[in-house]
């Protein structure tokens, strides 16, 4: 344990002194701040919104259209005029409440006729004017628009049967949060595992390994490195979460996010609607996932003799983490699909997939517990196997060893 501690502290100090660590940490915090605050910033400086409309036409028609368009808050009529100029320009829109479009409304041949002048063409298509269908029917049939509107509106209530989320809005928010957390999980595991890989490759190629292996047990050496990188990664991810926790309440208080956040009076994870249990799952799956990948990466790095060979051994070990990330994306859509459920118990995939499932759906309690147990057992096997490959690999120079040689090292 003393050896492990010495290696752990030395590795920790080395990594904390690394400019790359501070760059990645600060860069991550900055990126998160930008992601949270950018919509507020851009909405503040935006010249117009495509939902802000200038309506032109006969006053009675315009009044009825305005009522219909604003009833679901899809549009905001910022100005009404009797007629539009022959050429509608951006300057005209800017002068009329910074509108995103001007719409001339008229009755023609017993039907509604719209002439739309949008600032952004891609923001308008036919489907966006469904709100005006009752008015169109009124003009064709003479039945009052409000009666038609009443007739086509169906009273409905959605009752969640899994009780995980109170409503569809919370469920959608949880998906967004889950995606963000999976992405952070993926980034943290990749960064930390590659950091271990680089450290091992440095010791191997500079022959420091020769001295170290002659002095302390390779398992302690490997464990010291892996745990130090884990501690660093936890600090890094913690700083990213802390940034989000500080900034989200401010963002949530703004009108832009008001409809998405659960309440501006909440702070930190609560403002994002994150269940504290989910944070615990995140930490558990991060630690176990990281340990699986880091030990594998370290064993792979111990097989190379030159840093140029790092790419050769990186490819086979990076595929599982990329694959796991993609399966997790699918799990966001179909959390209970048989393939997703199966993958949530497969080592290396499990940390991503099971975490996604517990984040967005109701999973029987025994499933994450079983997944954690499988992951813990996998970590033990990874340490055992990596320790053996590492012991042999660190002193092996020349060509990359064949699979047969690696198998022999495991049996030794």
Q: Kindly list the residues in this chain that would bind another protein in the complex (CB under 8 A).
A: 3, 6, 10, 14, 17, 202, 206-217, 395, 405
Half-sphere exposure of 62 (CA within 13 A, CB side): 19
Between CA 372 and CA 212 the distance in angstroms is 33
Strand extents, DSSP E, 76-143 = 76-81, 99-108, 111-118
CB of 308 to another protein, least distance (A): 17
Structure tokens belonging to residue 28: 């991550």
Between CA 281 and CA 5 the distance in angstroms is 27
Instruction: Pick between residue 19 and residue 72 the one whose CB is nearest to another protein.
Output: 19
Q: Which helix (H) or strand (E) holds 300?
A: helix 276-301
Instruction: Pick between residue 69 and residue 209 the one whose CB is nearest to another protein.
Output: 209
CB of 195 to another protein, least distance (A): 14
CB 357 within 8 A of CB 344: yes
Instruction: Pick between residue 7 and residue 318 the one whose CB is nearest to another protein.
Output: 7
Residues 92, 96, 102, 105, CA torsion sign: negative
Surface-to-core class of residue 7, CB atoms within 10 Å of its CB (0-12 exposed, 13-18 middle, 19+ buried)? buried
Our measurement of the distance from residue 183's CA atom to the centroid of its chain's CA atoms, rounded to an integer in Å, reads 5
CB of 290 to another protein, least distance (A): 23
Instruction: Pick between residue 314 and residue 405 the one whose CB is nearest to another protein.
Output: 405
Q: Is 17 left (phi over 0), alpha (psi -120 to 50) or beta?
A: alpha
Strands of 49-56's sheet in order across: 76-81, 49-56, 99-108, 111-118
Burial 323-346 (b: 16+ CB within 10 A, else e): ebbebbeebbeebeeeebbebbbb
Instruction: Pick between residue 384 and residue 397 the one whose CB is nearest to another protein.
Output: 397
CB of 374 to another protein, least distance (A): 33
CB of 213 to another protein, least distance (A): 6
CB of 189 to another protein, least distance (A): 25
Instruction: Pick between residue 128 and residue 405 the one whose CB is nearest to another protein.
Output: 405
CB of 212 to another protein, least distance (A): 7
Alpha-helix runs per DSSP H in 47-144? 59-70, 90-95, 133-141
Backbone angles phi, psi at 117, to 5 degrees: -120, 85
CB of 165 to another protein, least distance (A): 49
Instruction: Pick between residue 51 and residue 405 the one whose CB is nearest to another protein.
Output: 405
Q: Which residues pair with 80 in a beta bridge?
A: 55
Residues 142, 144, 147, 149, CA torsion sign: positive
Closest C-alpha among 288, 315, 325 to residue 197: 315
Residue 56, classed as helix, strand or coil, is strand
CB of 215 to another protein, least distance (A): 5
Structure tokens belonging to residue 83: 């007629």
Instruction: Pick between residue 198 and residue 329 the one whose CB is nearest to another protein.
Output: 198
Closest C-alpha among 11, 1, 379 to residue 216: 1
Instruction: Pick between residue 1 and residue 127 the one whose CB is nearest to another protein.
Output: 1
CB of 409 to another protein, least distance (A): 12
Instruction: Pick between residue 185 and residue 303 the one whose CB is nearest to another protein.
Output: 303
């Amino acid at each position: 344990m003393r050896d492990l501690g010495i290696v752990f502290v030395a590795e920790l100090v080395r990594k904390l002194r690394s400019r790359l660590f501070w760059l990645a940490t600060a860069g991550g915090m900055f990126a998160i701040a930008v992601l949270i605050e950018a919509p507020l910033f851009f909405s503040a400086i935006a010249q117009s919104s495509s939902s802000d409309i200038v309506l032109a036409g006969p006053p009675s028609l315009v009044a009825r259209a305005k009522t219909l368009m604003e009833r679901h808050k899809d549009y905001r009529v910022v100005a009404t005029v009797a007629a539009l100029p022959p050429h509608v320009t951006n300057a005209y829109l800017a002068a009329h409440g910074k509108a995103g479009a001007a719409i001339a409304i008229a009755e023609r041949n017993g039907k509604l006729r719209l002439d739309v002048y949008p600032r952004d063409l891609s923001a308008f298509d036919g489907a966006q004017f469904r709100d005006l269908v009752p008015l169109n029917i009124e003009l064709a049939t003479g039945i009052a628009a409000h009666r038609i509107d009443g007739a086509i509106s169906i009273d409905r209530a959605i009752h969640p049967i899994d009780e995980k989320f109170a409503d569809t809005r919370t469920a959608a928010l949880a998906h967004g949060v889950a995606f963000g957390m999976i992405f952070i999980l993926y980034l943290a595991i990749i960064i930390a595992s590659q950091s271990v890989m680089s450290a091992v490759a440095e010791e191997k190629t500079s022959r420091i390994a020769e001295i170290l292996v002659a002095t302390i047990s390779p398992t302690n050496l490997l464990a010291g490195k892996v745990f130090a990188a884990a501690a660093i990664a936890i600090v890094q991810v913690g700083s990213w979460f802390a940034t989000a926790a500080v900034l989200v309440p401010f963002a949530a208080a703004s009108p832009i996010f008001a409809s998405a956040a659960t309440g501006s009076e909440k702070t930190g994870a609560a403002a994002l609607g994150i269940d504290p249990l989910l944070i615990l799952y995140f930490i558990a799956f991060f630690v176990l996932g990281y340990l699986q990948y880091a030990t594998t990466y370290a064993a792979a790095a111990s097989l190379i003799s030159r840093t140029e060979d790092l790419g050769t051994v990186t490819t086979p070990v990076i595929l599982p983490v990329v694959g796991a990330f993609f399966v997790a994306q699918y799990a966001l859509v179909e959390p209970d699909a048989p393939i997703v459920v199966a993958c949530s118990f497969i080592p290396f995939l499990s940390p991503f997939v099971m975490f996604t499932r517990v984040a967005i759906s109701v999973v029987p309690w025994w499933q994450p517990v079983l997944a954690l147990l499988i992951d813990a057992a996998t970590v033990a096997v990874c340490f055992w196997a990596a320790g053996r490959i590492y012991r042999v690999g660190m002193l092996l120079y020349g060509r990359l060893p064949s699979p047969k040689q690696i198998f022999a090292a495991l049996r030794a």
